[in-house]
Amino acid sequence: MDRPDIADRDLAAFVAVAEAASDAAGAVIRPYFRSGLGADLKGDQSPVTAADRGAEQAMRAVLVAHFPDHGILGEEFGTKNPGARLRWVLDPIDGTRAFITGRPVFGSLVALLDGDRPIVGVIDQPVTGERWVGVAGQQTRFRGSFGGKVGGRACSSLEQAELSCTSPEMFGNNLTGWQRLTAAAGRTSFGGDCYAYGLLALGQIDVIAEADLKIWDWAAIVPVVEGAGGRMTDWDGAPLRADGDGRAVAVGDPALLAPTLALLAG
């Protein structure tokens, strides 16, 4: 991924504040994990927890304090400064199902867009302390106490590939494409949301195909995956867009992108 057209000093400041926002979200989220809270089922059946809302407010407070003119888009609290060139995109708990069931494989996502392009992305797992930091034009950084080294695994054939998605129930009308892919892939596993993309950036998963992603689901992930040598696109191989159809593919080895897209298209 090309270096962004932003001074190095500014970019470093954006990364530091993105990490501070992740820290703030984690501090809100941790006490709620496995605290026995119920899911607050709203009209669309999506669980919205106190942790989610509190964490987004904490992230927004950090960002506004440092960059009052930047835009902010969050799942819970809408849009601020929508016309700004630099816009933060937040998802305090990506993987709500994992969070509610007590699986430590959800994540807090912070991304910075320059126009339509994500240039900074942080995937943070606040319970395990794992964090991936992706910056356009730079190698992805990872910290964590469970091991793992940044870099997609060399894997040029789908037959050898480890395939993943959060749930087969996410595909709707796109299920046949997913089924062609899972029939061709070596092995398939489920669960993980953003955490699975972090594992792809560590060479533990080779291909992820998903549908129905929103901008706050993918914006932080793109720099992490591409900074680990991988590729992340829509199902036509084009960059993901805020007004796209929500279908996304990520590969650790760029050689897997073309055969994956071909199977999804049918």
Residue 124 engages a copy of itself in binding (rule: CB under 8 A): no
Q: Look at residue 261 and give its three-state secondary structure.
A: helix
Name the amino acid, one letter, at 246: G
Contact segment (CB under 8 A) with a copy of itself among 50-58, 78-86, 163-171, 257-265 equals 163-171
How many Cα atoms are found within 13 Å in the side-chain-facing hemisphere of 228? 34
Distances (CA, A) of 75 to 53, 91, 114, 207, 237: 9, 6, 19, 26, 26
- Residue 162 binding a copy of itself, by CB under 8 A: yes
Q: Determine the angle formed by the axes of helices 257-265 and 175-184, rounding to 10 degrees.
A: 130
**What one-character DSSP code corresponds to residue 169?**
G
Which of 132, 195, 197, 218: binder of a copy of itself (CB under 8 A)? 195
Is residue 146 involved in binding a copy of itself (CB under 8 A)? yes
Rule CB under 8 A: say whether 127 interacts with a copy of itself: yes
Binding span for a copy of itself by CB under 8 A among 3-11, 100-108, 114-122, 173-181: 100-108
Of residues 91 and 130, the one with the C-beta less far from a copy of itself: 130
**Kind of pairing, strands 141-143 and 130-135?**
antiparallel
Is residue 50 within the footprint of a copy of itself (CB under 8 A)? Answer: no
If binding is defined by CB under 8 A, does position 154 make contact with a copy of itself?
no
Which of residues 10 and 190 has its CB atom nearest to a copy of itself in the complex? 190
Contact call for residue 137 and a copy of itself (CB under 8 A): no
User: Which residue matches tokens 């998605």?
Assistant: 165
Count residues near a copy of itself (CB under 8 A).
Answer: 42
Q: What Cα–Cα distance (Å) separates residue 98 from each residue in 105, 133, 144, 195? A: 6, 21, 19, 10
Determine which residue in the list 11, 51, 202, 225 makes contact with a copy of itself, applying CB under 8 A.
202
203 binds a copy of itself (CB under 8 A): yes
User: Would you give the binding string for a copy of itself spanning residues 56-85, x where CB under 8 A is met?
Assistant: ------------------------------
Find the binder of a copy of itself among 28, 55, 105, 261 (CB under 8 A).
105
Which stretches of 169-219 are DSSP H helices? 175-184, 194-201, 215-218
Residues 24-43 as x/- pattern, contact with a copy of itself by CB under 8 A = ---------xxxx--x-x--
Strand, helix or coil at 31?
helix
* Pairing relationship of beta strands 141-143 and 207-210 according to DSSP bridges: unpaired
d(CA 178, CA 103): 25
Q: Which residues bind a copy of itself (CB under 8 A)?
A: 33-36, 39, 41, 45, 47, 97-98, 100-105, 127-128, 146-149, 153, 162, 164, 167-169, 186-192, 195-196, 199, 202-205
